[in-house]
């Protein structure tokens, strides 16, 4: 029987032609939730845009469903977690309308700062209000871009061309060296214009709220072409009325169409009806992008726009030895012998309660997001406390970390820290190890002027599969080294996962690691990252001692556990002991 594909929203149907060879295509738009619930079990693929939502209650009824394709960027209308639980691939079209959404953003910025819509309306009414609408030029202004995905990158490129100073908040994507990276708090404090380009998830909900607005420069301009819930509309309304925000340009709303017209009635607000990505060209490109992804999945290949790669087990042909480009480390109980959050809890007399949450989360007994939020509620860390944790990380550095990292850099390897700890502590730690800030990923917190904790910035590293989301964006052949289940989850997207049990041995990590270290040394990691040729090069350098140590440990089943396939390949390294 031919597989069935449902098109649930209006799209450019001409772009579906390549799929007709594989699917019986049915176009049924405007379906109610009740009707979709009745028929969803019949389809292997569903293509949607923004009108049709696929929440968990519908996904659980989709017995045959293998792929959900969103012909656009935003996927807040799809329950990706529910889809992942049922092994359903979710793809989107991140590039299809990125350029035109960026164009719309820049257009709104000009309209906002030069009062173009207001001046146009009055002139059409016969009012020549030339002196009333004196605006602001963009040249020399600081533009803060929150989110550096495909749209954010295009906005960055265009704004640079306009002579703006551009800063970016993007904790979870590697940024080019030419980009000035900042925390969200830093960006808010210096930007004349702030534009949002992040997905709408429970992590980014109300990023701009009554508290974060107080951190902004007086008379800042705000632009939102991402998702409505990212900006707290009530809080911005109050700031506009009070004059602390100079103007708002908005293409997206918490509820669409917007029910509360008070925001739209303000004279310093310009708005469009979610048309940022709507051009004839972009709609064609979006459907082409998702059709290509559907065909790749059909052929057993992994599309670059797959949002939940953990559902696809055959990510790549993995070469477990032979040298790697990048080594990614967890921090706590890995590079450093301590769990930073537990030490933080000790400062406020909460170590026992927090340590229990840490252990349960690291072993996969509770969801990491649950532990993350409960631990913060218990500790309420001060900014200066996090600097102390950074120092404690250094004071408890494992035995040969510095030498191994130096050797990796000698070979030209990229080194990253991807951790569920807090960014201020991690950056202090990383800088002392020579790891650039752009290669350090942690959780960002917001503090008041006295350094008291106010709230956290939502990001993937506060939940399970968050490290996977970050690591999949790091290029090259990758090794991940970590001790916990949140590290192990990245196994699906790295080329080699090395479990670390030198501080805490976690049974689930030991069982599922291709290589597991019982020792406290990272010399085996160095040998694996270097590969045969790189190891030979190291033997001729001052790092020779780490190679000898690594080879000895790799050959010892007391110190290292390797699966059968990897153990056989490691036998080739034995001859290096005689060089």
3-state secondary structure of 285: helix
State how far the Cα of 504 lies from the Cα of 501, in Å rounded to an integer: 5
Q: What is the DSSP string of 300-325?
A: T---TTBS-GGG-S-------SS--S
Strand pairing class (245-250; 180-181):
unpaired
pTM of the model: 0.70
238 CB-near residues (< 8 Å, 6+ apart) = 210
Stated as kind and residue range, the H or E segment containing 166 is: strand 165-169
Cβ distance 172 to 458 under 8 Å?
Answer: no
pLDDT at 348 over 80: yes
State how far the Cα of 450 lies from the Cα of 315, in Å rounded to an integer: 47
State how far the Cα of 476 lies from the Cα of 435, in Å rounded to an integer: 18
pLDDT at 318 over 60: no
What single-letter DSSP state applies at residue 42?
G
Tell me: the pLDDT tens digits for 259-317? Answer: 778 999 999 999 999 999 889 899 899 999 999 999 999 988 889 899 888 787 544 44
State how far the Cα of 193 lies from the Cα of 181, in Å rounded to an integer: 16
Span 559-579, mean pLDDT? 73
Least confident stretch, 133-137, 171-175, 242-246, 276-280 = 171-175
397 CB-near residues (< 8 Å, 6+ apart) = 335, 336, 337
State how far the Cα of 53 lies from the Cα of 31, in Å rounded to an integer: 10
Span 70-78, mean pLDDT? 87
The predicted pLDDT at position 577 comes to 57
Residue 148 class from Cβ within 10 Å (0-12 exposed, 13-18 middle, 19+ buried)?
buried
State how far the Cα of 401 lies from the Cα of 409, in Å rounded to an integer: 12
Segment of 35-49, 170-184, 347-361, 435-449 carrying the highest mean pLDDT: 35-49
Place 523 in a pLDDT band, splitting at 50, 70 and 90: very high
Tell me how far CA of residue 145 lies from CA of 73, 150, 197, 223, 411, in angstroms.
17, 12, 7, 10, 35
Span 466-486, mean pLDDT? 88
pLDDT at 568 over 90: no
Cβ distance 461 to 419 under 8 Å?
Answer: yes
Tell me how far CA of residue 55 lies from CA of 352, 389, 395, in angstroms.
38, 41, 47
Residue 181 class from Cβ within 10 Å (0-12 exposed, 13-18 middle, 19+ buried)?
buried
State how far the Cα of 310 lies from the Cα of 305, in Å rounded to an integer: 13
* Long-range Cβ contacts of 132-137 (<8 Å, 24+ apart): 137/113
State how far the Cα of 552 lies from the Cα of 29, in Å rounded to an integer: 64
* Sheet containing 560-562: order of strands: 440-443, 414-422, 326-329, 478-482, 496-500, 515-517, 560-562
pLDDT at 486 over 60: yes
In the chain the first and final C-alpha atoms are separated, in Å, by 62
The predicted pLDDT at position 234 comes to 94
For residue 186, give the nearest of 178, 177, 194, 196 by alpha carbon.
Answer: 194
Segment of 199-213, 258-272, 360-374 carrying the highest mean pLDDT: 258-272
Span 554-566, mean pLDDT? 86
Tokens of 104: 């719309």
pLDDT at 141 over 50: yes
Tokens of 444: 């960002």
The predicted pLDDT at position 316 comes to 47
Place 533 in a pLDDT band, splitting at 50, 70 and 90: confident
Query: Cis omega before residue 257 (within 30°)?
Result: yes
3-state secondary structure of 200: coil
Indicate which residues carry an active-site annotation.
227, 256, 274
The predicted pLDDT at position 458 comes to 65
State how far the Cα of 513 lies from the Cα of 314, in Å rounded to an integer: 17
The predicted pLDDT at position 574 comes to 65
State how far the Cα of 137 lies from the Cα of 193, in Å rounded to an integer: 12
Tokens of 397: 């550095």
3-state secondary structure of 328: strand
State how far the Cα of 423 lies from the Cα of 427, in Å rounded to an integer: 6
Average pLDDT, the chain: 90
State how far the Cα of 71 lies from the Cα of 285, in Å rounded to an integer: 9
Q: Which domains does the chain have, with CATH numbers?
A: 3-94+281-311 (3.40.50.720), 98-271 (3.40.50.720), 326-578 (3.40.50.1000)
The predicted pLDDT at position 50 comes to 81
Cβ distance 26 to 42 under 8 Å?
Answer: no
pLDDT at 320 over 60: no
For residue 489, give the nearest of 505, 470, 517, 475 by alpha carbon.
Answer: 470
Tell me: the pLDDT tens digits for 99-127? Answer: 999 999 999 999 999 999 999 999 999 99
Cβ distance 98 to 158 under 8 Å?
Answer: no
Q: What residues pair up with 397 in beta bridges, in sequence order?
A: 336
The predicted pLDDT at position 315 comes to 42
């Amino acid at each position: 029987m031919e597989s069935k594909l449902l098109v649930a929203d209006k799209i450019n149907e001409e772009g579906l032609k390549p799929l007709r060879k594989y699917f019986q295509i049915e176009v049924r738009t405007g379906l109610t939730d009740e009707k979709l619930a009745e028929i969803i079990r019949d389809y292997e693929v569903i293509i949607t845009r923004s009108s049709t939502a696929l929440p968990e209650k519908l996904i659980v009824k989709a017995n045959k469903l293998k792929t959900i394709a969103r012909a656009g960027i935003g996927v807040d209308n799809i329950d990706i977690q529910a889809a992942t639980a049922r092994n359903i691939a979710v793809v989107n079209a991140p590039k299809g309308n990125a350029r035109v959404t960026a164009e719309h953003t820049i257009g709104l910025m000009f309209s906002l700062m030069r009062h173009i819509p207001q001046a146009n309306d009055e002139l059409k009414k016969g009012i020549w209000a030339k002196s009333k609408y004196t605006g602001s030029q963009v040249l020399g202004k600081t533009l803060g871009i929150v989110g550096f995905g495909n749209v954010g990158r295009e906005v960055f490129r265009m704004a640079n061309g306009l002579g703006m100073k551009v800063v970016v908040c993007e904790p979870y994507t590697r940024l080019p060296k030419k980009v000035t990276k900042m925390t969200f708090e830093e960006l808010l404090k210096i930007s004349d214009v702030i534009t949002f380009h992040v997905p709408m998830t429970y992590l980014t909900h109300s990023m701009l709220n009554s508290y974060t607005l107080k951190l902004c420069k007086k008379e800042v301009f705000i632009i939102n072409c991402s998702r409505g819930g990212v900006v707290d509309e009530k809080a911005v309304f109050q700031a506009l009325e009070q004059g602390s925000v100079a103007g708002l340009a908005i293409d997206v709303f918490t509820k669409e169409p917007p029910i509360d017209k008070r925001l739209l009635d303000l004279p310093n607000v310009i708005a469009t009806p979610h048309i940022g990505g709507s051009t004839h060209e972009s709609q064609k490109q979006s459907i082409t992008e998702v059709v290509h992804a559907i065909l790749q999945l059909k052929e057993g290949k992994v599309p670059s726009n797959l949002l939940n790669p953990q559902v696809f087990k055959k990510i790549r042909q993995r070469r477990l030895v032979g040298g790697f480009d990048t080594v990614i480390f967890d921090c706590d109980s890995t590079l450093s012998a301590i769990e930073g959050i537990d030490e933080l809890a000790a400062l406020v007399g909460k170590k026992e309660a927090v340590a229990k949450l840490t252990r349960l989360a690291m072993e996969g007994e509770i969801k990491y997001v649950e532990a993350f939020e409960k631990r913060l509620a218990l500790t309420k860390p001060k900014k200066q406390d996090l600097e102390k944790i950074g120092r404690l990380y250094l004071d408890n550095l494992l035995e040969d970390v510095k030498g191994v990292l130096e050797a990796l850099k000698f070979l030209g390897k990229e080194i990253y820290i991807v951790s569920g700890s807090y960014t201020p502590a991690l950056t202090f730690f990383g800088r002392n190890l020579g790891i650039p800030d752009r290669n350090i990923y942690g959780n960002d917190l917001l503090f008041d002027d006295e350094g008291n904790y106010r709230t956290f910035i939502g990001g993937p590293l506060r939940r399970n599969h968050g490290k996977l989301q970050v690591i999949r964006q790091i290029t090259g052949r990758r090794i991940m080294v970590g001790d916990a289940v949140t590290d192990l989850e990245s196994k699906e997207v790295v080329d080699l996962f090395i479990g670390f049990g030198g501080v805490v041995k976690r049974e689930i990590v030991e069982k599922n690691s291709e290589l597991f270290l019982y020792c406290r040394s990272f010399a085996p990691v160095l040998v694996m990252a270097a590969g045969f040729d790189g190891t030979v090069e190291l033997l001729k350098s001052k790092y020779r001692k780490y190679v000898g140590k690594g080879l000895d440990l790799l050959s010892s089943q007391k110190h290292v556990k390797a699966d059968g396939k990897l153990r056989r390949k490691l036998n080739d390294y034995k001859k290096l002991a005689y060089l």
